Amino acid sequence: MAISNPRKPGRIFISYRRDETGFPASWLYERLAGHFGPDQVFKDVDSIELGDDFPEAIANAVGACDVLLVLIGAQWLAVTDEAGHRRLENSDDFVRLEIEAALQRKVRIIPILVGKARMPPADQLPASLGKLVHRQALELDPNRFEADSRRLVRVVEKTLAEEEARRAAEARRAAEKTRLTTVQTIAASLTADGPAEVDAAEAALRRLADDESERVAQAAQALLQVWEVERGKRPSEAKQRPGQADEKRQPPTKLVASVPPAVATDAGRATVPVETAAPAPPDPPGDAPAGVSPARRRLLIAGAALAALLVAGGVAYAQYGTGRGEDEPIGSTAPAATPSPTTPADELCTDEIRSNRRWVCLTSAVVADGKLTIKYEVDYDGAKPNVNTGYHLHLYGGDGKNPPDHTMSSHWPKSTRGKYLYVAREPYVLNTDDPDFTDAIGHAPKVCARIAIAGHSLVQDNKGGYQTGNCVPITRP
C-alpha cells in the first residue's frame, strides 16, 4: 500500500491554469523557491507528492498560505471545460475555489497579468470572485521578467514578515493567557494544608512576578503582596498562644486608642475613646496564621486571586507604540536629582522614578487667571494617553504622603479611596471653580501624579509600590 507523505503547505500559493499560464507559473516558482525556499512556495505539480489526495492537498495549501498569486492570461476568463462551459462558472473549479478561499480568509491576493492580459471586469466574474478586481495587479512581461519578479519578491517579503509578526503576537497572547490562568491556579494552591505545596506555589508565584508580560507580572505581584501580608501574621501566633486561656475568660473591655482625626489639622492627633472587644481566641495550631480561621484564610487568598486577575484585566490594552523593547531599560540622561533644603524629596523627578518602565514627572503647577495649569513629562513606551482605552494620569492634592498614594485608584474601597483627577493631555488646564478642582486639589500645597491604566488601577513601580511619579508645589497668586 502506498503511503502518502505530503509536503508542508507553503506560505506562497501559485494559482494558475496549466494549459494557459503553465510556463509563467514555472518561472515564478523557480524564482520564488530560489529566494524563499521550496517549502515556502506551493505549486500543484511541484508541491503535491504522488499518491496525495489532490483536492485535499489544494485545500490545505490555500488554507495555510499568506499570499495567493493568481496568474491571469489573455484567455483566463474564457477558458471552458470539455462541455463548452466557462470553467469559472463551475463551483467546483479549482481556480475558483482557490480564490474564494483566499478572499474569505482575507489573505493578500496579487493578480499577475501575463503577457497582454487585463484585469477582468467584475460583471463577468462570479459574484464570489467580485472583490478580486479591487486588488492591485502586477503586469508580468517576459521582456522584463527579472525586474517584475524583484518587485513581486519585495511585496511578498513584506507580507510574510507582517504575518510572522502577527502570529508571534498571537502566540504571546495565548501564552500570556495560560500564565494568567496559572496565577489563578496558584491562588488555590496557597490555601493547601501541605507546607511543601504552599512553598512550591509561592516559588512559582515569585517567578511569575518577574514575567516578561506586564499583565502576568502585575497579576502575580498583586497576589504575592496579599500573600506576604497574610504570611507575615504567622510569627505572632506563638506569642498569642500563652494568653489564650486567660483571654477566653476575660469579658470585652473598653480601650482608649489614639487615632488620627478624619480631617488633618494643625492640632495633630486627637485622642478619642474607642470601644473595642477583646481579641477572639486564636485558631488551633496549624498552617493557618494566628487570628485567621482556615475558612477566612481561604476566602482571603481567593479574593487575592480575584484581585490579581482584575489587575491583569485592567491592563488588557496590551503594549502601545513601538518604542523600547520589553527588556530595554528606561532611564534618563539628565543628572541625578537629589533633595535639598529647598526641594523636598517628593518634588524631585529622580532617577529611581525614571527607572520604572512607566513614569510621569510633573514639572510645574500654576494657578493664574482662575485656571490651574499643570505641565509634565511622561514615558509609556511611546503610547499616547487615553482615559478610556490606554494609560492616563491620576493627579491629586496633598504633600505626597497624605492621602497615601495607593488610595488614588478606583480599585480601592470607597471608604479609603482618595479623590483624584484623571488626565490625558499636556499641559492640563482646569478652572479653579470647577468641582473637580475643589474635590481633588482644593487648598492643597502640592499636586502629585501617578500613572494609571484602563479601569483607573495604578501602575506599580519597581518595588511593588506606586511611586511612578512625583509632586510639585502649586504656585498661587
Asked if 399 and 347 touch (Cβ cutoff 8 Å), the reply is: no
Tell me what the mean pLDDT of segment 125-132 comes to.
90
Residue 107 lies in a domain: yes
pTM over 0.75: no
Determine the pLDDT at residue 429: 92
For residue 337, pLDDT beyond 60: no
Are residues 373 and 445 located together in one domain of the fold?
Answer: yes
Asked if 195 and 287 touch (Cβ cutoff 8 Å), the reply is: yes
Are residues 102 and 198 located together in one domain of the fold?
Answer: no
Residue 273 lies in a domain: no
CA-based torsion, 137, 143, 145, 146: positive or negative: negative
- pLDDT per residue over 251-260, tens digit each? 443 333 333 3
Are residues 311 and 178 located together in one domain of the fold?
Answer: yes
What the block records as the C-alpha cell of 283 is 485558631
Are residues 303 and 350 located together in one domain of the fold?
Answer: no
Are residues 227 and 355 located together in one domain of the fold?
Answer: no
Are residues 115 and 224 located together in one domain of the fold?
Answer: no
> Which phi and psi (to 5°) does residue 285 adopt?
-55, 150
Are residues 214 and 93 located together in one domain of the fold?
Answer: no
Are residues 67 and 199 located together in one domain of the fold?
Answer: no
- pLDDT per residue over 135-146, tens digit each? 989 998 888 888
Are residues 180 and 235 located together in one domain of the fold?
Answer: yes
Distance CA(405)–CA(398), nearest Å, equals 10
Residue 421 lies in a domain: yes
Q: 401 or 329, which is more confident? A: 401
Mean pLDDT of the chain: 74
Distance CA(175)–CA(177), nearest Å, equals 5
- List the CATH number of the domain containing 421: 2.60.40
- pLDDT per residue over 274-309, tens digit each? 333 344 444 444 444 444 455 555 555 555 555 555
Per-residue 3-state assignment (H helix, E strand, C coil) for the chain? CCCCCCCCCCCEEEECCHHHHHHHHHHHHHHHHHHHCHHHEECHHHHCCCCCCHHHHHHHHHHHCCEEEEEECCCCCCCECCCCCEHHHCCCCHHHHHHHHHHHHCCEEEEEEECCCCCCCHHHCCHHHHHHHHCCCEEECHHHHHHHHHHHHHHHHHHHHHHHHHHHHHHHHHHHHHHHHHHHHHHHHCCCCCHHHHHHHHHHHHHHHCCCCHHHHHHHHHHHHHHHHHHCCCHHHHHHHHHHHHHHHCCCEEEEEEECCCCCCCCCCEEEEEEECCCCCCCCCCCCCCCCCHHHHHHHHHHHHHHHHHHHHHCCCCCCCCCCCCCCCCCCCCCCCCCECCECHHHCCCHHHHCCCCEEEEEEEEEECCEEEEEEEEECCCCCCCCCCCCEEEEEEECCCCCCHHHCCCCCCCCCCCCCEEECCCCEEEECCCHHHHHHCCCCCEEEEEEECCCCCECCCCCCCCCCCCEEEEECC
Are residues 218 and 295 located together in one domain of the fold?
Answer: yes
Read off the pLDDT band of 403 (50, 70, 90).
Answer: confident
Give the domain range for residue 226: 172-241+290-316
Structural domain count, the chain: 3
Are residues 221 and 129 located together in one domain of the fold?
Answer: no
Asked if 22 and 79 touch (Cβ cutoff 8 Å), the reply is: no
Are residues 29 and 124 located together in one domain of the fold?
Answer: yes
